[in-house]
Amino acid sequence: MKPSTDLDLNDALMARARRVIPGGVNSPVRAFRAVGGTPRFIARAQGAHMWDANGQRYIDYIGSWGPMILGHGHPAVLEAVRRAAAEGLSFGAPTEREIELAEEILSLVPSMDMVRLVSSGTEAGMSAIRLARGATGRSKIIKFEGCYHGHADALLVKAGSGLATFGNPTSAGVPAEVVQHTLVLEYNNLAQLEEAFALHGDDIAALIMEPIAGNMNFVRATVEFTRRCRELCTRHGALLIYDEVMTGCRVALGSAQSVYARHIPGFAPDLTVMGKVIGGGMPLAAFGGRRDVMEQLAPLGPVYQAGTLSGNPVATACGLATLREIRKPGFFDALAHQTRRLAEGLSAAAAAEGVPFSADCEGGMFGFFLLPELPRNYAQVMKSDGARFNQLFHGLLARGVYIAPALYEAGFVSGAHSDEDIDATLAAAREVFRSLSI
Share of the chain above pLDDT 90, in %: 88
Cβ contacts of 416 within 8 Å, gap of 6 or more = 47, 48, 70, 71, 72, 74
Nearest to 66, CA basis, from 237, 279, 370: 279
Q: What is the pLDDT of residue 368?
A: 97
Instruction: Give the Å distances, CA to CA, from 298 to 205, 240, 304, 307, 313.
Output: 19, 21, 5, 12, 21
The answer, yes or no, to whether residue 10 has pLDDT greater than 90, is yes
Q: What is the pLDDT of residue 300?
A: 97
Say which of 52, 60, 143, 148 is annotated catalytic.
148
Helix (H) / strand (E) element for 314: namely helix 313-326
* 163-167: long-range pairs with CB below 8 Å, 24+: 163/192, 163/195, 164/192, 164/195, 164/196, 164/199, 164/200, 167/143
The answer, yes or no, to whether residue 17 has pLDDT greater than 50, is yes
Cβ contacts of 159 within 8 Å, gap of 6 or more = 145, 165, 167, 168, 184, 185, 186
Q: What is the pLDDT of residue 387?
A: 93
Within 24-116, residue ranges assigned H as helices are 75-87, 96-108
The answer, yes or no, to whether residue 2 has pLDDT greater than 70, is no
Q: Per-residue confidence at 160, pLDDT binned at 50, 70, 90?
A: low
The answer, yes or no, to whether residue 161 has pLDDT greater than 70, is no
Q: Per-residue confidence at 166, pLDDT binned at 50, 70, 90?
A: low
The answer, yes or no, to whether residue 329 has pLDDT greater than 60, is yes
Q: What is the mean pLDDT of the chain?
A: 94
Query: Active site includes 402?
Result: no
Give the separation between CA 332 and CA 322, rounded to whole angstroms.
Answer: 13
pLDDT tens digits along 244-282: 999 999 999 999 999 999 999 999 999 999 999 999 999
Q: Per-residue confidence at 1, pLDDT binned at 50, 70, 90?
A: very low
Question: What is the CB neighbour count within 10 angstroms for residue 431?
Answer: 14
Q: Per-residue confidence at 436, pLDDT binned at 50, 70, 90?
A: confident
Q: Per-residue confidence at 175, pLDDT binned at 50, 70, 90?
A: confident
The answer, yes or no, to whether residue 5 has pLDDT greater than 50, is no
- Cβ-contact 319, 400 below 8 angstroms: no
Say which of 52, 60, 243, 421 is annotated catalytic.
243
Query: How confident is the model over 100-109, as a mean pLDDT?
Result: 98
> DSSP letter at 214?
G
Q: What is the pLDDT of residue 165?
A: 53
Helix (H) / strand (E) element for 44: namely strand 42-46
Query: Active site includes 243?
Result: yes
Q: Per-residue confidence at 176, pLDDT binned at 50, 70, 90?
A: confident
Half-sphere exposure of 296 (CA within 13 A, CB side): 18
The answer, yes or no, to whether residue 239 has pLDDT greater than 90, is yes
Q: What share of the chain is helix, strand, coil (3-state, %, to 5)?
A: 45, 20, 40
Give the separation between CA 70 and CA 326, rounded to whole angstroms.
Answer: 8
Cβ contacts of 262 within 8 Å, gap of 6 or more = none
Q: What is the pLDDT of residue 171?
A: 83
Query: Active site includes 378?
Result: no
Half-sphere exposure of 404 (CA within 13 A, CB side): 25
Q: What is the pLDDT of residue 164?
A: 46
Q: What is the pLDDT of residue 68?
A: 98
Say which of 276, 378, 402, 408 is annotated catalytic.
276
pLDDT tens digits along 390-433: 999 999 999 999 999 998 899 999 999 999 999 999 999 999 99
pLDDT tens digits along 193-238: 999 999 999 999 999 999 999 999 999 999 999 999 999 999 999 9
Instruction: Give the Å distances, CA to CA, from 88 to 74, 96, 102, 116.
Output: 21, 13, 20, 21
pTM of the predicted model over 0.75: yes
- Cβ-contact 407, 324 below 8 angstroms: no
- Cβ-contact 346, 426 below 8 angstroms: yes
pLDDT tens digits along 72-91: 999 999 999 999 999 999 99
Amino acid identity of residue 21, one-letter, is I
pLDDT tens digits along 283-326: 999 999 999 999 999 999 999 999 999 999 999 999 999 999 99
- Cβ-contact 189, 377 below 8 angstroms: yes
pLDDT tens digits along 25-44: 999 989 999 899 999 999 99
**Measured on CA atoms in the order 104, 107, 108, 112, is the torsion positive or negative?**
positive
Q: What is the pLDDT of residue 159?
A: 63
Rounded to 5 degrees, φ, ψ at 46 are -155, 130
